[in-house]
Amino acid sequence: MARPVQYNIYGQTDVKLVKEGPEGYMGEGFFGTSLDKVVGLARKNSIWPLPFATSCCGIEFMATMGSHYDLARFGSERVGFSPRQCDLLMVMGTIAKKMAPVVKQVYLQMAEPRWVLAMGACASSGGIFDTYSVLQGIDQIIPVDVYIPGCPPRPEAVIDGIMKIQDLIGKESLRRRNSDKYKQLMESYGIQ
């Protein structure tokens, strides 16, 4: 949450909204908090998305990256196309069953910690394509953290989805990925 702060520069008083930092103890010239909160703050404000766009949702993502909506404000300016350098897989559009192994391989090539965002009705549930050849949601092959509804979703919805991912990343414990519950989730998808 942002809070108003009054400051004085060159004799002029102004009010500016300042984004809150992590919870902690503040003193004269120092700030103390836990390592989890500092790492969460750094991770959530430096997301490197990997777009996997196959249809019209990719066009909406392009609009979101443009100057009018400017996804770079949220720390997602560097869009990567190498799975080994990215930590957020954004699956957009219709995924055919023949493409499912490719999506899973891209997911597996990403380094931990990694997150997945399913953008649009097709990636989330197969959309209007209830046919034998279309995967009825990518959550059948990889775990999904955030779903963005719409056909195609508006850029505002994409920004909301990114903000939800940021909240999830900021609150995630450093030990979550080593927990038995997380290992069971990965094993349910056939991921070691």
pLDDT for residue 106: 94
The answer to whether residue 91 sits within a structural domain is yes
- Per-residue pLDDT for 84 more than 70? yes
- How confident is the model at residue 119, as a pLDDT? 93
Two tokens at 65? 């990256």
CA dihedral sign of residues 28, 30, 36, 40? positive
pLDDT in tens, 3-57: 565 555 555 565 555 556 667 777 777 778 888 888 888 888 888 999 998 888 8
Tell me whether residue 80 is in a domain: yes
Give per-residue pLDDT as tens, 115-163. Answer: 999 999 999 998 888 899 999 999 999 999 999 998 888 989 999 999 9
Q: What is the pTM of this model?
A: 0.82
Please check if 86 is assigned to a binding site: no
64 part of a folded domain = yes
Q: Is residue 25 part of a domain?
A: no
- Give strand ranges (E) for 20-103: 25-27, 30-32, 49-53, 88-92
Domain that holds residue 86: 47-188
Structure-block tokens of residue 183: 């290992």
- Please report how many Cα atoms fall inside a 13 Å half-sphere around the Cα of residue 4, on the Cβ side: 4
Whether 32 is in a domain gets the answer no
Domain count, the chain: 1
pLDDT, position 68: 85
63 lies in a domain?
yes
* 5 falls within a domain: no
pLDDT > 70? residue 82:
yes
Q: Which residues contact 140 (CB under 8 A, 6 or more apart)?
A: 100
Domain with residue 155: its CATH number is: 3.40.50.12280
pLDDT at position 147, please? 95
Is 166 part of any domain? yes
Give 46: exposed, middle or buried? Use CB within 10 Å, 0-12, 13-18, 19+: middle
| Gap between the Cα atoms of 145 and 139, Å rounded | 9
Name the amino acid, one letter, at 38.
Answer: V
